[in-house]
Amino acid sequence: MMTCHEPAGAPPRALTIAGSDSGGGAGIQADLKTMLEFGVHGMSAIVAVTAQNSVGVHGVWDLPAEAVRGQIRAVVDDIGVDVVKTGMLSSAALVALVAGELDRTRAPVVVDPVGVSKHGDPLLAPDAVDVVRRELLPRATVVTPNLDEVRLLTGVEVHDAADLPRAAEALLALGPAWVLVKGGHLRGDAVDLLTDGTSRFLLRGPRLDRRHTHGTGCTLASALASRLAWGDTPEQAAKAAKDYVSGALAAGFPLGAGIGPVDHGYRHRR
Ligand SMILES: Nc1ncnc2c1ncn2[C@@H]1O[C@H](COP(=O)(O)OP(=O)(O)O)[C@@H](O)[C@H]1O
Ligand SMILES: Cc1ncc(COP(=O)(O)OP(=O)(O)O)c(N)n1
């Protein structure tokens, strides 16, 4: 276990371990933009490169294990981290590697268990799902699944907001400290449930009828991680993240022929 001193005068340090989205709306690119918006120093370990745009994912290339391990260790062992966020991890071997590397830090870990893209393109191999369950989720401070990921990880089907507590319980049984189940794919209000099994917080936002929603999940998880790095409680961090993603989603803009990105910089364009 490495311990580093947070230098006086430096912002909190956040490491995203995720895939690259060439289109800039999701993945590492969304994470770093969000981290900048929240005033933390964003750092990255790229696990896979995707050729991706507004109409889909056209190619995926995993990085060699050595390259992923090297990036994580370079950051953790010298610079230090106040929070880690994981996103697309692609393969069973890379999920296992990342889970093991998390033991090198005591920082909180936000796990966004990315399964498929908005266009239905797979971003996690089928045989990696069980490794996420067994090796990654027990290390998570907060796990942030959408409803497809809830079904993939637990088999629980969520049809309306009343099903969210059951989904959260099934996820908590896999070992994370907190679960934030995202109800973005429900009808009606966009309701998310945050719980540690004792406290329960419903985060409710009006459903925004927008086409340009690419990157909502990565953005929410990175905002949450950034606030944790500043010392917020999970409740405070999740509320701030929900506000931010709602604003970014309301300001999403068209790019390309398909689904455009949420606007990570919306606060500068008002
Ligand atoms: N149309 C929408 N209107 C308002 N909030 C939304 C909408 N779609 C998603 N959200 C919110 O965005 C965040 C990310 O959720 P979601 O889109 O379900 O994640 P993912 O990108 O992983 O599928 C959640 O807080 C969710 O409630
Ligand atoms: C490289 C990469 N990582 C994650 C995602 C999924 O991002 P998300 O924020 O869930 O956005 P959508 O794909 O659902 O729009 C991705 N697409 N690419």
Residue 33 lies in a domain: yes
The residue whose C-alpha atom lies closest to atom 4 belonging to ligand 1 is 207
Residue 258 lies in a domain: no
Residue 259 lies in a domain: no
CA distance 181 to 171: 9
Residues involved in catalysis:
182, 213, 215-218
Inter-axis angle of helices 147-154 and 164-172, nearest 10: 50
The parts of the chain modelled with pLDDT lower than 70 are 1-7, 270
Q: Which residues line ligand 2 (CB under 6 A)?
A: 18-21, 26-27, 50, 52, 87-88, 114, 117-118, 123, 214-218
pLDDT tens digits along 28-58: 999 999 999 999 999 999 999 999 999 999 9
CA of 118 from ligand 2 middle (Å) equals: 7
CA of 217 from ligand 1 middle (Å) equals: 6
Number of structural domains the chain divides into: 1
CA of 14 from ligand 1 middle (Å) equals: 22
Residue 5 lies in a domain: no
Residue 103 lies in a domain: yes
Residue 37 lies in a domain: yes
Read off the tokens for 4.
């580093």
**What is the domain range of residue 178?**
13-251
Residue 256 lies in a domain: no
Q: What's the pTM?
A: 0.97
| pLDDT for 270 | 65
| pLDDT for 126 | 98
| pLDDT for 269 | 86
Ligand 2 pocket mutation, candidates 16, 22, 86, 118, criterion most atoms within 8 A of CB: 118
| pLDDT for 6 | 64
Cβ pair 78, 9 in contact under 8 A: no
Q: What is the CATH number of the domain that holds 144?
A: 3.40.1190.20
- 167 C-beta neighbours (distance < 10 Å), count: 22
Residue 267 lies in a domain: no
Cβ pair 231, 11 in contact under 8 A: no
Cβ pair 206, 184 in contact under 8 A: no
CA of 54 from ligand 2 middle (Å) equals: 11
Cα–Cα distances in Å, from 106 out to 2, 32, 73? Answer: 9, 21, 14
The residue whose C-alpha atom lies closest to atom 20 belonging to ligand 1 is 217
CA distance 244 to 260: 17
Read off the tokens for 122.
């797979």
Cβ pair 35, 18 in contact under 8 A: no
